[in-house]
Every structure is written in structure tokens, then in C-alpha cells.
Structure 1
Amino acid sequence: MYLYGASGHGKVIVEIAEENNINIEGFLDEDLSKNQLLNYPIINELPDKNIEVVISIGNNQVRKKIAEENTQFSYLILIHPKAVISKRATIKEGTVIMTGVSINSEVKIGKHCIINTNASIDHDCIIDDFAHISPNVALAGNVEVGEGTHVGIGACVIQGVRIGKWCTIGAGAVIIKDIPDYAVAVGNPAKILKYNNI
């Protein structure tokens, strides 16, 4: 298996692979100044063949671009062994789930998502492709998070709320009503400051 992206986020993901006893061939990174990370080699030229890959880049837009441009790769799911995940949850390719995460019944998580350290996702939530649920986020039941949305560290979302696509939810925000596509929402209760230009 290879990790695409040799940076701090890659360090966390490589340790999840190690915890699962997955053989890591190295990192892929087009930055020619990089040649090694955590004693793994960095390959600067992308292979044009079917290899097993996890994209280890935190930026949601960059992750989407890489996935769309490299359909020759087989994208794995990585789950830390100290995450607690319902047997009725579904998780799609490329998604990474960090230590301490709790995912409850009938949760649906899309492709290439990041479910970060100690996040809690309650029953029947839907997390769309390329979303990032940051450390210590708490989503109550029946919450929807749209494609590419970044829910900031420590944010809380009450039950039944829909957050649109490519939104940014600020650190510690408390979301008590629906948030439209592309909105940047911060505070308690959260208010929309502006809209992302994506």
C-alpha cells in the first residue's frame, strides 16, 4: 500500500496502517524536495498502474482532485483498531477513521472522508464524499454533512440538521439549524459569516 501525501496528516495515517499490520511500500508525493518520511521512502513520480492507495492529504478539494485524476489506483479504507464502529454502518473507499472515533447504527460515510480523532457520529447520519469531520466533533442522530464540507474541531451539531456541500464549520461551533451549501458558519449558536468561493 502507498500513501499519497507525505506530510503531518500522512504521519497519522501511516500509523493506522501499521496498527493494522498493513505493508506500506512508501509515500507518493510530487514535491521533489521530499525523499523520506518516518523511515518510509517517498516516490516523486506517480505510478501509472493499479496500486493500493490512501490519500493522506487533509485538504478536501485537493483530495477530490487527486482521486478524480488517479482512477487507476485502488483506494483502501483505513480504520484505527481503537475506533468503535457499528456493524450496520457503511464506509466507502478511501475513507480514513482515526483512533477513538465512535460511529453508531446505520451511519453512511462516503468516499475519501476523514473522520478524525475522537469524533462521535450518532445513528443514521450521512457524511458525503470528501468531507472532514475534525477531532472531538459530535454529530447527533440524523445529521447530514454534504460533499467536501469541513466540520471544525470540537463543533457540535444537533439532531436532524443538514449541512450543505463545501461548507466550513468553525471550531467549537454549535449548529442548531440547517446550513446552506458553501456557507462558513461560526459561533454558538452558529451564524453564517460568508460563503466559500468554490
Structure 2
Amino acid sequence: MKVYLLGAANPEAVRMILTLQRSQPDVQFAFLDNDPAKQGTLFYGVPVVGGTDKVAELKGPDTRFVNLITGTTALRYRTTCEIVEAGGTLGNFIHPGIDLTMITMGVGTYLQEGVIMQAQVSLGDNTSISAGSVVGHEGQIGHSVFMAPGVCIAGCVEIGDGTFIGTNATILPRLRIGRWVTIGAGAVVTKDVPDYAVVVGSPARTIKTNPASFQDGRVFN
């Protein structure tokens, strides 16, 4: 099995590779990156073999692609669509210490060390959750969602496609967060949030609206 990770930016990804290879030594990893300056170099010892334009050449029955880009969910969504449209098969990049019992997830998932998901959580495709984040029981996380480190989502919360949740944000139980929402770092969300809203503060309040560039975050038609 070969796994290509898009986005040679965070050395934590290399540490995860080393951890995974202790139990899966036959899996080969390499990076893709759309920055020409990184292509043909080593990222902490792991080769960067090209950008998304190489997917059609690299794809195969034993090859998987995972997007590690998390700067914006719009960029994450667009670049994952490029992989899929080029015929690449998405895989998952998940720290082996995470308990996935009674969890449902799609493909293209990137879960860092220390993520806790309680029973009956569901994750959509192309979702990324950073170190130390918690998703409470029966949470529904949409497609192309990103959670920064230390996010705390209480039980029975629904997160819409394309939502970006900043570091240490908290979402109280049984709320619905719309599509392509941005939740600022440290925000405490106490009520439902409409599609495309940008919310900050404690309690969180809407300060502006994101452009309605996409209807959803699905990478498969």
C-alpha cells in the first residue's frame, strides 16, 4: 500500500507516519504539495514527489490519497476535489491511539493524536480533527469540516459541511451549526448558527457572513 499525503507543512504528520509504520511497516508514505519549491525535496525525511497534478500518474489499486490541508475548509475542499476528479482513491490517516468503537466515518479522514469521539459519532468525507479535540456522543459532523486543536463539541451537535472551528472553541449540546460556518478560536457557541456565518466570542455572536461559494462539502457526486 502507498499513501500520498497532500500538504507538506506540519511535522506532526511525519511523527504520525513513524507511529503508524511501527504497526504497518509495509505501508509506504510520501507527500504531495502544490508549492513547486517543495517538490523534489524531503520533508523531515519523507519525499515530496509533486503536486495534485501527479495524482493521475500515481493512482492505482493499492494507492490512497489523504488531504492534510487545513488552512481553510474551502481550500481543503477544492484540493480534495482535484484528487477525486483525477481518479485518486481517498484513504484515511488516523492516529492509531484513537478509539473508533461505535464511530461511523467516510473517507479522506485525518485525525491527529488525542482526538476523542464518543459513541455514535458520525464523520463525513474529507474531515480533519486536530490534536486534543473532543466530539460528544451522537455528534454529526459533515463533509470537509476542520476542527483545530482543543475543540470541545458537546453531545448531539450537528456540524454542517465545510465548517471551520478554531482552537479551543466550545459548542454546547444539541445545537445545529450550518454549512461553511467559521467559529473563532475560544468561542463559546450557545445557540444554533446559520449557514455561512462567522461567529466569535463568549457567548458567540455573528460578526459577518462568509461568501456562499459552495452549497455543500461533498467530494463525491
**Given the two structures, how large is their TM-score scaled by the length of structure 2?**
0.83
Q: Would you say 1:60 and 2:62 are equivalent positions?
A: no
Residue-pair matches, total: 195
Q: Name the structure 1 match of 2:88.
A: 73
More off after superposition, 173-182 vs 28-37: 28-37
Q: What code does the residue aligned with 1:38 have? A: Y
Distance 2:135 2:94 in 1: 15
Q: 1:117 to 1:108 in 2, by over 3 A?
A: same
Q: Percent identity?
A: 33
Distance 2:91 2:13 in 1: 12
Output aligned runs, 1:85-96, within 5 Å: 85=100, 87-96=101-110
Shift of 1:84: 3.3
Residue number among 154, 157, 172 corresponding to 1:140 in the alignment:
154
Q: Would you say 1:164 and 2:178 are equivalent positions?
A: yes
Unaligned runs of 5+ in 2: 214-221
Deviations 1:7-54 (A, max 9, x none): 12xx32332232122533421123221122111111225131333111
**Is the CA contact 2:17–2:29 (under 8 Å) kept in the aligned structure 1?**
no
Distance 1:47 1:76 in 2: 14
Q: Would you say 1:46 and 2:54 are equivalent positions?
A: yes
Shift of 1:162: 0.5
Distance 1:110 1:29 in 2: 24
Which 4+ runs in 1 deviate beyond 4 A? none
Distance 1:127 1:13 in 2: 22
Q: What's the RMSD between the two structures over aligned residues?
A: 1.4
Shift of 1:76: 1.2
Shift of 1:114: 0.8
Q: Would you say 1:27 and 2:31 are equivalent positions?
A: yes
Distance 1:129 1:53 in 2: 16
Distance 1:76 1:18 in 2: 17
